[in-house]
Amino acid sequence: MAGSLNISEAHGSIEPFHGFVPAVYELNVCMVDADGMITSWKTNIASAGSHVPSGFVGQHHSHLFTPEDRTRRRPEQVLKLAVLHGGFAEEGWRVRRDGSRYWASVVVEPVHDDARRVLGFTTMMRDISETRALREALRRSEQHIDLIMSSITDYAIFVLDTDGIVASWNPAAEEILGYGKRDIVGQHFSCFFSADDRESGKDALVVSSARAAGQFEDEGWRIRRDGSRFWARVVVDAIRDEHGDCIGFAHVTRDITLQRTIDELEQKLAHSQSGVADGIASGEVAHQFNDLLSAVAVSLDLITRSDDISTMHRLTRMAQRAAQSGARLTATLLETSQADQPQVSAGSVGGVAPALADDRQVTVLVVDDDPDVLELASCAVQELGYVVVSAADAEAAVAILENDPSVGLLFTDIIMSKSVSGLGLARRARELNPALRILLTSGYPRARLQSLPEIGDGMAFISKPYELSTLDAKLRELTAIRDKSEHTQTPVYS
């Protein structure tokens, strides 16, 4: 704050104020006596249309304040603070003669005589409404940018200075790299590189390449705060001033570890599918089959970790292709194997099942001694619109058939570990319900099941593994249910 004005005037008069106040652009200056009365006013040309020079002369300076400020005695406080501190400055609302408001930059300085008695005050007010509006617009713009940066969750975005020091940090960067803003701002970005990369000077190469070419792109391993690594896609852009000089770098990092894993799985799957198509030597069977199992298992695991629908669909298709390749592989092995044929109890299932009514909602009894296969088969049948009951062996299935006459179709595995096979169950089921439709299934192709009786009316066979569409076709064939689009009733699920 400048020193207070000192004016020696006879009788303490401060009227000659006009003589030493220069004309300052956008500045309105008034002289206020010790009691707060306005004794003089000087208005610059730019504001003359809005401020009447003589309009406030003779009035108390409180008229320059808003009614709210007058109520809380702000005019008196301003003068007291100016005396106490040798001057006072603030920004705030002021009032024009016509009652309109403007945002002002205000400076108040006391005027003393030679005895240091306060004669009055000079009040300088500059209309900065436009400046304030621009500042507010800039603040809103910065807030908008901050909101945008905060909403970006897939990209770590931060700014480096010309030496590679981190100058800004968005929330996604904290999520991906593990550093909080307070922990990383001011640190060198080389901490994101492995020790080998730092030793080879890769961090220096990034900034020097971006400075020279304007942009640098890279894929490679980066290190999180906890020491774990991830595969990153990095883009670094040079930030230049109006003279073209580099003043920093915009650094964007995306974790594409999942994408890289998927690409590797697809390559492995393509190799395995090629081996199945071309025919594989017996020594490679375990390796090829493990590749396919890996593709299925990892795909399903990644599905549970991903929130992106398109990625989940892509992984699902990969798992399906791997399962289909596995099915072709096992079919090839079974066709060429010299192992003993599996034996199942021979004999006719018997009975000719009458047609089921088209409008009947069929209950399907699903039987398999493998718990996981039983659950998946039950879910598949239910997904196709059928009421489902399930049993883990033939004995439990017979008990259900004896007590639940609503069962219209039996879907059973043939080779089961207990004494009664799927064929034995089918014969017993037909004895209990001659109208029962039966769908048999096995991991062996039908041609390998020597004792399997001829498939007659009301019976069908499906090889494992099967696709949902194939199962749907077999069930429709047996139940004579037309496509769901031709029905008006709602499928019942259990």
pLDDT at 151 > cutoff 80: no
Contact 353, 379 (CB under 8 A): no
Identify the pLDDT of residue 183. Answer: 93
pLDDT tens-place string over residues 190-243: 999 999 999 999 999 999 999 999 999 999 999 999 999 999 999 999 999 888
Q: Please, are residues 98 and 104 in contact by the beta-carbon 8 Å criterion?
A: no
* Average pLDDT of span 170-180: 90
Q: Give the pair of three-digit tokens for residue 325.
A: 């390749």
Decide: 356 and 331 in contact? Cβ < 8 Å. no
Cα dist. 366→361, 408, 449 in Å? 16, 11, 21
Comparing CA positions, the residue from 371, 274, 285 lying closest to residue 321 is 274
Give me the pLDDT at residue 300, please: 74
At position 461, the amino acid (one-letter code) is F
| For range 69-98, the mean pLDDT | 93
Report the C-alpha gap between 112 and 34 in whole angstroms: 10
Give residue 37's identity as a one-letter amino acid code: M
pLDDT value of position 161: 94
What percent of the chain is modeled with pLDDT above 90? 40
pLDDT tens-place string over residues 350-397: 544 444 544 447 899 999 988 878 887 888 898 888 999 999 999 999
Query: Is residue 343 pLDDT above 90, yes or no?
Result: no
**Spatial contact of 348 and 453, defined as CB atoms under 8 Å apart:** yes
User: What's the pLDDT score for residue 27?
Assistant: 77
**88-97, 292-301, 334-343, 363-372: least confident range:** 334-343
Per-residue pLDDT band at 35 (split at 50, 70, 90): very high
Q: Determine if the peptide bond prior to 465 is cis (ω within 30°).
A: yes
DSSP 166: B
**pLDDT in the model for residue 349:** 53
Mean pLDDT, residues 237-251: 92
What pLDDT, on the 0 to 100 scale, is given for residue 26? Answer: 61
Lowest mean pLDDT among 35-44, 59-68, 74-83, 307-316: 307-316
The proportion of the chain whose per-residue pLDDT surpasses 70, expressed as a percent, equals 70
pLDDT of residue 123: 93
Spatial contact of 126 and 91, defined as CB atoms under 8 Å apart: no
Nearest-CA neighbor of 458 among 352, 377, 358?
352
Rounded mean pLDDT of the chain? 78
| pLDDT on residue 165 | 96
Residues counted in the chain: 494
pLDDT higher at 103 or 295? 103
Split at pLDDT 50, 70, 90, the class of 32 is: very high
174-to-150, 178, 198, 226 alpha-carbon distances in Å: 11, 5, 21, 12
pTM of the model: 0.41
Q: Residue 162: its pLDDT value, please?
A: 94
Closest CA to 65 of 28, 102, 27: 102
Count CB-CB contacts under 10 A for residue 100.
8
